[in-house]
Amino acid sequence: MQITVIDNEPRQAALVCRLLAEEGHDCMVWNDYTTLPAQLQQTHPALLIVAAGLLGQPALRSALRHDALRGLPMLLIADRRSEDRLGTGLGDGIADYIVPPLRRTELALRVRVLARRAYPARLEDSILRFGEHAFDLDARSAAVAGTPVALTRKEFDLALLLFRHLNRPLSRAYLREAVWSQESDVSSRTVDTHVARVRRKLQLQPARGLRLVPVYSYGYRLEQLGA
């Protein structure tokens, strides 16, 4: 899904786009509020994410009321300093808000809820399939050959990340940041333990056309055999 982010804080905008990319979305950051309606008419994003601190900009407020944005679902990134602007943003058509620190799971769920509400007939299927493996993004559940598999939230996030990056090596540092986010005390052993559980529970073995292998002094790679 194409998503446009309006944020003048580069680090936060980059984080939002990275989290969205991990969920399979395409992300574009836009800072020129005066040309926003024209840009949206050209790129046709499905959803808009706006930093609450920018709602004091008259040009942005005017752009948000433009006909080109009518019906476009919007998510506000709020914080304690911008609580007084929540009412303003919601009045301009922003349907929901999220408060930092931003977490991939929460951001993904809020985006999906807004998209389902706005596009009930055209939103992509919430079930992702990789051969015999299926992941229900809404229920956050998994199945192998139609048989449900009990995964914890972290195991689900880790497994989905590995499948979305089939045949690509992922570092332990990247896995820690993507799955455990703000939990700074997560060790490499914790990552290794979760990888082992995911390998066992999802039967990531050659008999099912997959192999989850360690990459020496780096991380892990989920290989699709015969690919």
- The full set of domains in the chain, from first to last, is 2-118 (3.40.50.2300), 127-224 (1.10.10.10)
Return the number of other C-beta atoms located less than 10 Å from residue 153's C-beta: 10
pLDDT value of residue 16: 93
Dig out the tokens for 82 from the structure.
């911008």
pLDDT of residue 35: 85
| Triad 94, 127, 4: Cα angle to 5° | 30
**pLDDT tens, N- to C-terminus, the chain (227 residues):** 889 999 989 999 999 998 888 787 889 998 888 888 888 878 888 899 998 888 778 888 888 888 777 778 889 898 766 555 555 555 555 678 888 888 887 888 888 888 888 877 655 567 888 989 999 888 889 999 999 999 998 999 999 999 988 999 999 988 888 888 766 677 888 999 999 999 999 999 999 999 999 999 899 999 998 75
Query: Can you give the pLDDT at residue 80?
Result: 63
Name the CA dihedral angle for 10, 115, 74, 18, rounded to a multiple of 10 degrees: 0
Model pTM score: 0.64
In this predicted structure, what is the pLDDT of residue 86? 59
pLDDT given at position 138: 80
Give the helix ranges, DSSP H, for 23-148: 36-43, 58-64, 86-91, 104-118
The pLDDT value given to residue 55: 79
State the pLDDT at residue 65.
Answer: 81
Predicted confidence at residue 81, as pLDDT, reads: 63
Q: Which pLDDT score, from 0 to 100, does residue 204 have?
A: 96
